[in-house]
């Protein structure tokens, strides 16, 4: 009789390679997540007369959302909300360059408006970093906290929402192509004066594009649902408004893991600030139709 020699069963080579690739992807996701954590502000500044609350939840694939509040000259503040198309290391690299440009250019800026700043960043980014179809949507603004005047421009970004006296307005007047689409693109500035108790909500598309299974495929959370939640915020602090939005999205998606980064920055003008600008107005003695006309005109001014 011949002795039978038992040989160890080796793992299938294809399965071993797959396990190696998956481990490498996990390391990449972890690295991207760490990079994003380093780039986002650890805390928000204290702007007299205003309250702020941020929210950020990364997707499993780690995208390229970025927000920041940067001190400017003469007591003004710069706000930036950006969303890099794509995921992974490349999106993180682009976001890193964006942050570097923002912190190098904005603090000492005296002459460039929000639109001109976007034009400058677009030219620089388009020359090297935004190629082969890559692009970034950005909403940028300058706030004068004394007059409460907010001047802003958009490079293809989601229009912020403004809650004023229980009504939600879309700040969609400023529009332009995303950075990287056209190196020579121009961006127009729009402005409004924030009234006491106004609530400004800046966000990325991960908020409104949160998904759940629907009858005809995937159903999005959408801007209408967002507006309904915001309209019920009343005079609640920004942190409470953020919590309401987060809870509404969780209920809508059955708390599923996000497929895209979800980022939001909420700013409220305190009611105690006295009016410093003739453009501000009080709505107590207006009918609903009169208020709607005045509010729309103020946003467009």
pLDDT band at 221 (very low <50, low <70, confident <90, very high): very high
In degrees rounded to 5, what are phi and psi of residue 205? -70, -10
pLDDT at 109: 65
Beta bridge partners of 153: 140
pLDDT at 23: 64
Q: ∠174-178-184 over CA atoms, to 5°? A: 90
3-state secondary structure of 139: strand
| Measured distance CA(42)–CA(48) in Å, rounded | 19
Residue 19, C-beta contacts closer than 8 angstroms, at least 6 positions apart: none
Percentage of the chain beyond pLDDT 90 is 53
pLDDT at 186: 96
Please state which of the ranges 43-52, 60-69, 77-86 shows the lowest mean pLDDT: 60-69
pLDDT at 31: 63
3-state secondary structure of 83: strand
For the chain, the helix, strand and coil percentages under 3-state DSSP, each to the nearest 5: 35, 25, 40
pLDDT at 12: 61
pLDDT at 3: 54
Residue 129 has pLDDT above 50, yes or no: yes
DSSP-assigned letters across all residues of 199-234:
EEEEE-HHHHT-EEEETTEEEE-HHHHHHHHHHT-T
Domain containing 195: what range? 34-40+47-280
Q: What is the CATH number of the domain that holds 260?
A: 3.60.40.10
Residue 180, C-beta contacts closer than 8 angstroms, at least 6 positions apart: 122, 125, 126, 129, 130, 131, 134, 135, 136
pLDDT at 259: 84
Average pLDDT over residues 56-64: 79
pLDDT at 292: 43
User: Is residue 20 situated within a structural domain?
Assistant: no
pLDDT at 89: 76
Average pLDDT over residues 153-165: 97
Beta bridge partners of 213: 218
User: Is residue 121 situated within a structural domain?
Assistant: yes
User: Is residue 275 situated within a structural domain?
Assistant: yes
pLDDT at 229: 98
Average pLDDT over residues 9-18: 62
3-state secondary structure of 89: helix
pLDDT at 224: 96
pLDDT at 58: 86
pLDDT band at 263 (very low <50, low <70, confident <90, very high): very high
Which residue did the predictor score with more confidence, 52 or 39?
Answer: 52
pLDDT at 175: 84
User: Is residue 272 situated within a structural domain?
Assistant: yes
Burial per residue of 206-230, b for 16 or more beta-carbon CB atoms within 10 angstroms, e otherwise? bbbbbbeeeeeeeeebebebbbebb
What the block records as the tokens of 224 is: 């209408």
pLDDT at 5: 55
Average pLDDT over residues 222-249: 96
Residue 301 has pLDDT above 50, yes or no: no
Say if residues 79 and 141 touch (Cβ distance below 8 Å).
yes
Average pLDDT over residues 18-26: 63
pLDDT band at 52 (very low <50, low <70, confident <90, very high): very high
User: Is residue 287 situated within a structural domain?
Assistant: no
User: Is residue 102 situated within a structural domain?
Assistant: yes
Average pLDDT over residues 254-272: 91
User: Is residue 224 situated within a structural domain?
Assistant: yes
Q: Has this prediction a pTM greater than 0.85? A: no
**Domain tally, the chain:** 1
Residue 255 has pLDDT above 60, yes or no: yes
In degrees rounded to 5, what are phi and psi of residue 77? -135, 140
Average pLDDT over residues 52-75: 87
pLDDT at 16: 72
DSSP-assigned letters across all residues of 1-28:
-PPPPPPP-PPPHHHHHHHHHHHHHHHH
Residue 266, C-beta contacts closer than 8 angstroms, at least 6 positions apart: 52, 53, 54, 55, 199, 200, 201, 202, 238, 239, 241, 242
What the block records as the tokens of 10 is: 């080796």
Beta bridge partners of 214: 217
Order of all β-strands in the sheet with 149-155: 64-71, 77-84, 136-144, 149-155, 190-193
User: Is residue 171 situated within a structural domain?
Assistant: yes
């Amino acid at each position: 009789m011949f002795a039978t020699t038992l040989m160890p069963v080796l793992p299938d080579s294809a399965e071993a390679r797959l396990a190696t690739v998956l481990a490498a992807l996990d390391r990449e996701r972890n690295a991207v997540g760490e990079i994003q954590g380093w780039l986002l502000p650890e805390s928000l500044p204290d702007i007299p007369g205003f309250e702020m609350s941020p929210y950020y939840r990364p997707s499993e694939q780690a995208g390229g959302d970025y927000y920041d509040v940067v001190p400017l000259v003469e007591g003004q503040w710069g706000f930036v909300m950006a969303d890099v198309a794509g995921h992974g290391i490349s999106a993180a690299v682009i976001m890193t360059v964006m942050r570097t440009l923002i912190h190098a250019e904005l603090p000492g800026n005296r002459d460039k408006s929000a639109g001109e700043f976007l034009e400058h960043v677009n030219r620089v980014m388009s020359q090297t970093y935004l190629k082969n179809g890559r692009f970034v949507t950005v909403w940028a603004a300058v706030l004068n906290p004394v007059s409460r005047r907010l001047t802003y421009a958009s490079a293809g970004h989601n229009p912020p929402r403004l809650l004023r006296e229980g009504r939600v307005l879309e700040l969609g007047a400023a529009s332009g192509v995303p950075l990287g689409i056209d190196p020579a693109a121009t961006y127009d500035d729009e402005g409004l004066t924030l009234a006491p108790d106004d609530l400004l909500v800046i966000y990325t598309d991960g908020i409104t594009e949160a998904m759940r299974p629907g009858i005809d495929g995937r159903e999005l959370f959408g801007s209408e649902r967002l507006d309904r939640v915001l309209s019920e915020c009343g005079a609640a602090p920004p942190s409470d408004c953020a919590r309401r939005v987060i809870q509404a999205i969780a209920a809508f998606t059955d708390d599923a893991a996000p497929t895209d980064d979800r980022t939001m920055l909420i700013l409220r003008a305190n009611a105690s600030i006295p009016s410093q600008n003739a453009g501000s107005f009080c709505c107590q003695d207006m009918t609903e139709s009169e208020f709607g006309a005045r509010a729309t005109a103020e946003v467009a001014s």
